[in-house]
Structure 1
Amino acid sequence: MATNWLSVVKSADLEVLERALDWLNDGHQAHLFTVVQTWGSAPRLPGAVLVVRDDGHLIGSVSGGCIEDDLADKARNQALPNQPSVMEYGISREDAQRFRIPCGGSLQIFVEPLNHASQLLPIVQNLRGRKLTKRSVRISTGEIKLTEVLPEGAPRIEGDWFHTYFGPQWRLLIIGANQLGATLASMAQALDFEVLVCEPRQEIRDEWHVDGVTWMYGMPDDVVLDMAPDAHTAIVAVTHDPKLDDMALLEALKSDAFYVGVLGSHKNQEKRRVRMRMFELSDAEIATMRGPVGLRIGSRTPAEIAVAILAELIQVRAQQTTVGLANEVSCAA
């Protein structure tokens, strides 16, 4: 599976860009800001985006708030650059104190004036289509190029070009609409995951009470096959019914999902691994299964178990991005 290096949660990018697209379609002008590089204790990762409208309205974030306030003030006073350029914050001690950047932190931001919806519409369409895309802007002219890519690195400036990456929203498929599934779905949405739920049992599905999820109808193995899990997909089986959980695992463990977990004790997990081998899954595929699912925090209630699952899921995702960044640095050395 290819390792990914992107901003931690890319669905937020889609929200920011869609809102900016609405502003442009309504006749506003705006500026798109992207964190290129950080040093020290900077508050946001490279790739974080912010759009500031010509009247100071803004969406997104590149810091804890103070830099956003400064950029909004500059927008209202028409003091932002009218061509692509680079800004730096926190380089001096005075800037760090003024903008309340953590001690020793500084960041470099790429600024792009937005005058037409055509500047954003293609990348928004790619995000909606779950495509990983490199968006390149020629600094001297504002020319934009989009390239569908494999994961390949962090935002960067190369000569006259600024390159950044936009990927699909992280999504979580939950097998099981029981109390734990509902709690997990609610918390995952708060963490900006697109949540999908598969529950073949009508009597349990009828008691569902969490809004905002997408129902996936069918048996778990068919659902996993149909959705074609990618490297932005996590799958967690919580039905406590081996027949249903195992059906999902048989396909999930062969997929590109970055996280596959299943509820159950250590004893039950060992039995499950034996069953998986009977279906000719390899030891390497079975080894990717996380069970008992979640970090070991002594959780017992559905809410505590959901916290443990999401904490482990976030940990695994962060480890992948760290490895991806290390690979990028190694390749550049």
Structure 2
Amino acid sequence: MESLDLRVLSDVLAWKQAGHQVTLVTVVETWGSAPRPPGALLAVRDDGGVSGSVSGGCVEDDLIARIRAGEYADLQTPSMVAYGVTKEEATRFGLPCGGTLRLVQEPVLDTTWIEQVLHRTSEHQLVARTLTLRDGSVQLREAERGEALQFDGSTLTTLFGPRWRLLLIGAGQLSQAVAQMAQMLDFEILVCEPRQEYTAGWSLPGVTHLSGMPDDEVLALRPDAHTAIVALTHDPKLDDMALLEALNSPAFYVGALGSRRNQQARKERLAEHFDLSEQALARLHGPVGLRLGAKTPSEIAVSIIAEIVQVKNKGVSDAMVQIKADAAPTEWRSPACAI
């Protein structure tokens, strides 16, 4: 689950604590071209306040109107609602190409499960929540990566995962550009920089700064499958230390700045001096970023973020596939790299 939906749960908890009635709406099935995927959340407050979304806006407007009118005031158990069953309804509710949505709407009567989900995901756990429509009971369990939403008409199981994290090694100009773009994608940003002179000019709020040595900070972070790590100092004494631990971790993406020649030399150092396996070294994305012909720090940041998102969503990047496919690869380097 994206952290946008975790934010919906945070809003629900705050609204309930303030004494509001809240209806939680979950997309459970879609047909045709649907604006939001199964699992997407919308919370509607008794006064019409909303958090999240399930469509382009028109379905939300209808739900708000129904709740304001008191239609769900006596709702004690979850129920089903469908939008866009006919072409006319799809047009009315702004669903493209005749799309159809099936939603589960439930009154939030107990917030204990929300508190547990928010706590467990903050600890970087993946949680499955099973809702029984008959009585509204909720059960939580530890989930496994790769599980998907399940709905059989009587029970709904949704997944709540930890927020995606990005650890940047180095606090230079390129790192600032990458951090700013990653924040727009709702990543949690951490920057490891033991050199104080590089952090003095940082003005981007919401970034966690780590001042220890890179290998120590990577170990302390305990990277998981929702963590990306990118080394951008271009200093082997710092980058290699971070990569040593990152490549042996479950991090879904590990990248480093530098040309192909530079990356090959780096891999040889890591293999010779630190005994990293070929399997671990093959995980290194370098030269980092997609081949966009980028030249400025902002353009280079776009290429890096684009590759991270591609690996996050597809499990592999086009650049890595191309490198493996090239029989005689031409020399290519990260745009900021001269060696």
User: TM-score, normalising length from structure 1?
Assistant: 0.90
Mapping 1:244-283, distance limit 5 Å: 244-278=238-272, 279-283=274-278
Selected match of 1:204 from 198, 202, 205: 198
The answer (yes or no) to whether the contact 2:126–2:142 under 8 Å persists in 1 is yes
The answer (yes or no) to whether the contact 1:35–1:48 under 8 Å persists in 2 is yes
Question: What is the match of residue 149 of structure 1?
Answer: 143
Letter of the 1:253 partner, please give it: L
Letter of the 2:156 partner, please give it: F
Structure 1 pair 159/88, CA: closer, same or farther in 2 (3 Å)?
A: closer
Q: Deviations over 1:192-242 (max 9, x none)?
A: 000001001111111222111011221111111111100000001111112
Question: What is the match of residue 296 of structure 1?
Answer: 291
Q: Deviations over 1:77-120 (max 9, x none)?
A: 12235421222222210121011111132222221111233352
Where 1:169 maps in the other structure, the secondary structure is: coil
Shift of 1:40: 2.3
Does the alignment pair 1:122 with 2:116?
Answer: yes
Selected match of 2:303 from 301, 308, 316: 308
Structure 1 pair 104/276, CA: closer, same or farther in 2 (3 Å)?
A: farther
Q: What percentage of residue pairs aligned between the two structures are identical? A: 52
Selected match of 1:27 from 19, 27, 30: 19
The answer (yes or no) to whether the contact 1:231–1:256 under 8 Å persists in 2 is yes
Does the alignment pair 1:228 with 2:222?
Answer: yes
Question: What is the match of residue 134 of structure 2?
Answer: 140
The answer (yes or no) to whether the contact 2:169–2:191 under 8 Å persists in 1 is yes
Q: Give the Cα–Cα distance (whole angstroms) in 2 for the partners of residues 148 and 137 of structure 1.
A: 15
Letter of the 1:17 partner, please give it: L
The answer (yes or no) to whether the contact 2:91–2:98 under 8 Å persists in 1 is no
Where 1:15 maps in the other structure, the secondary structure is: helix
Mapping 1:1-333, distance limit 5 Å: 7=1, 10-80=2-72, 81-158=75-152, 160-278=154-272, 279-320=274-315
Q: Give the Cα–Cα distance (whole angstroms) in 2 for the partners of residues 88 and 293 of structure 1.
A: 45
Q: Deviations over 1:12-61 (max 9, x none)?
A: 12211111101101111111111112222111122111100111100011
Letter of the 2:192 partner, please give it: C
Where 2:168 maps in the other structure, the secondary structure is: strand
Whose relative contact order is higher, 1 or 2, with alpha carbons under 8 Å and at least 6 apart? Answer: 1
Letter of the 2:279 partner, please give it: A
Where 1:298 maps in the other structure, the secondary structure is: coil
Where 2:96 maps in the other structure, the secondary structure is: coil
RMSD: 1.5
Q: Give the Cα–Cα distance (whole angstroms) in 1 for the partners of residues 41 and 190 of structure 2.
A: 26
Q: Find the structure with the greater CA-based Rg.
A: 2
Q: Give the Cα–Cα distance (whole angstroms) in 2 for the partners of residues 316 and 84 of structure 1.
A: 36
The answer (yes or no) to whether the contact 1:46–1:154 under 8 Å persists in 2 is no
Q: Give the Cα–Cα distance (whole angstroms) in 2 for the partners of residues 320 and 300 of structure 1.
A: 26
The answer (yes or no) to whether the contact 1:42–1:105 under 8 Å persists in 2 is yes
Letter of the 2:305 partner, please give it: L
Shift of 1:258: 0.4
Shift of 1:152: 4.3
Q: Give the Cα–Cα distance (whole angstroms) in 2 for the partners of residues 75 and 119 of structure 1.
A: 23
Structure 1 gaps of 5+ residues are 1-6, 322-333
Shift of 1:62: 1.1
Q: Deviations over 1:250-293 (max 9, x none)?
A: 00000000001111112111111111211211111111110111
The answer (yes or no) to whether the contact 1:37–1:156 under 8 Å persists in 2 is no
The answer (yes or no) to whether the contact 1:37–1:155 under 8 Å persists in 2 is no
The answer (yes or no) to whether the contact 1:38–1:107 under 8 Å persists in 2 is yes
Q: Give the Cα–Cα distance (whole angstroms) in 2 for the partners of residues 106 and 275 of structure 1.
A: 55
Structure 2 gaps of 5+ residues are 317-339
